[in-house]
């Protein structure tokens, strides 16, 4: 019994590795055009793929009809993916993947494409791949199997603890980041509004002065009056177009922008290595409560990474 559990655990890790390769190489290159460690854990494995493979092997190994096997395994894997999505959402208050942009999806958690891929892969797994893999696993002697399994279990559990611990407080940091950025935004808006009102008053005063001058010479300067009106309109329009740009380059506004950058810098140091890796590895990760802070922090990390590459 123990030997069978150990062998299935090795199979679980092997197929988790295969899933990680699929996600990190094919999926990341297809979606992001670059290699990304798409695993939730730090090690090179995606446990959901290992779980799906073991479930298919244990429950569907006696199904002879390939088409029936395809349907049942597709449903089984989609149920597993849906439950995992809900569980991780409840645990971490975040959506880790979202298929809403694909046709025939269920609440963005599973989709038809996934059903087809998992169904086809499971047929190959049960009928072709696993008999070969199992033949190699069975060659491992019992003492070596126990030692190998023990080391791998310890390594796997350590990775789980490090990952979960590293993600602790993620929501709290996002909340703090959002609060500080909101303060800066409010100050920016106040500065913009105050400067805009000041410049508007100055424009209105200039307009009134120009109109007064025009009225005093209306009698015998019709042509010059019309020209002056046109010039005044052009000057006012130019002033309005340049107003926002001048505001944004004003010293107080630049100081607020610098304050915002300082906040990004500070929080980039406060977020743990695990949290920053997750933000980069899961580009569609969406926080249920503080998604704005998550998106802004991810964008900052990507900008910093681009700057380092350009140096």
Per-residue confidence (pLDDT) for residue 22, from 0 to 100 = 87
> What's the pTM?
0.74
Domain final residue, candidates 168, 192, 223: 168
Provide the 8-state DSSP code for 272: -
> Which residue is associated with the tokens 């169904």?
119
204 and 268 housed in the same domain: yes
116 and 236 housed in the same domain: no
Q: What are phi and psi of 45, to 5 degrees?
A: -160, 145
12 and 159 housed in the same domain: yes
Domain total in the chain? 2
159 and 198 housed in the same domain: no
149 and 235 housed in the same domain: no
9 and 104 housed in the same domain: yes
Lowest mean pLDDT, pick from 121-130, 133-142, 161-170, 197-206? 197-206
Domain final residue, candidates 141, 168, 195: 168
User: Residues 100-150: pLDDT tens digits?
Assistant: 988 899 999 999 999 999 999 999 999 999 999 999 999 999 899 999 999
| Domain housing 149 | 2-168
187 and 119 housed in the same domain: no
Taking 90 as the threshold, does the pLDDT of residue 151 lie above it? Answer: yes
81 and 184 housed in the same domain: no
pLDDT-based confidence at residue 230 (cuts at 50, 70, 90): low
35 and 82 housed in the same domain: yes
24 and 159 housed in the same domain: yes
154 and 32 housed in the same domain: yes
Lowest mean pLDDT, pick from 8-17, 67-76, 191-200? 191-200
88 and 148 housed in the same domain: yes
Q: Are 13 and 157 in contact (CB under 8 A)?
A: no
Domain final residue, candidates 136, 152, 168: 168
Taking 80 as the threshold, does the pLDDT of residue 240 lie above it? Answer: no
Instruction: Measure the CA dihedral 30/36/42/43, to 10°.
Output: 60
Q: Are 273 and 42 in contact (CB under 8 A)?
A: no
> Which residue is associated with the tokens 């072709």?
128
Chain center to CA of 273: 15
User: Residues 56-108: pLDDT tens digits?
Assistant: 999 998 899 999 999 999 999 999 999 999 999 988 888 888 899 888 999 99
């Amino acid at each position: 019994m123990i030997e069978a559990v150990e062998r299935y655990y090795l199979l679980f890790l092997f197929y988790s590795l295969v899933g990680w390769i699929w996600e990190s190489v094919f999926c990341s290159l297809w979606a992001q055009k670059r290699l990304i460690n798409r695993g939730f854990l730090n090690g090179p494995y995606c446990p959901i793929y290992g779980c799906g493979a073991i479930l298919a092997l244990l429950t569907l190994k006696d199904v002879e009809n390939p088409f029936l096997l395809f349907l049942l395994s597709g449903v089984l894997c989609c149920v597993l993916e849906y439950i995992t999505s809900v569980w991780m959402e409840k645990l971490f208050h975040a959506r880790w993947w979202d298929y809403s942009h694909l046709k025939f999806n269920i609440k963005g958690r599973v989709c038809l494409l996934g059903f087809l891929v998992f169904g086809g892969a499971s047929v190959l797994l049960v009928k072709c791949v696993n008999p070969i893999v199992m033949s190699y696993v069975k060659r491992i002697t019992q003492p070596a199997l126990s030692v190998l399994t023990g080391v791998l279990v310890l390594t796997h559990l350590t990775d789980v603890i490090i990952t979960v611990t590293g993600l602790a407080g993620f929501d709290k940091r996002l909340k703090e980041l959002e609060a500080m950025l909101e303060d800066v935004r409010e100050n920016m808006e106040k500065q913009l509004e105050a400067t805009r009102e000041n410049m508007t008053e100055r424009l209105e005063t200039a307009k009134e002065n120009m109109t007064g001058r025009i009225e005093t010479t209306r009698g015998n300067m019709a042509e010059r009056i019309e020209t002056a009106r046109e010039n005044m309109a052009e000057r006012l329009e130019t002033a309005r177009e340049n107003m926002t740009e001048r505001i944004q380059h004003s010293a107080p506004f630049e100081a607020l922008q610098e304050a915002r950058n300082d906040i990004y810098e500070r929080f980039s140091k406060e977020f743990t290595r695990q949290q920053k890796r997750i933000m980069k590895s899961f580009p569609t990760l969406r926080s249920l409560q503080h998604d704005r802070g998550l998106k802004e922090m991810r964008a900052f990390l990507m900008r910093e990474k681009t700057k380092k590459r350009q140096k």
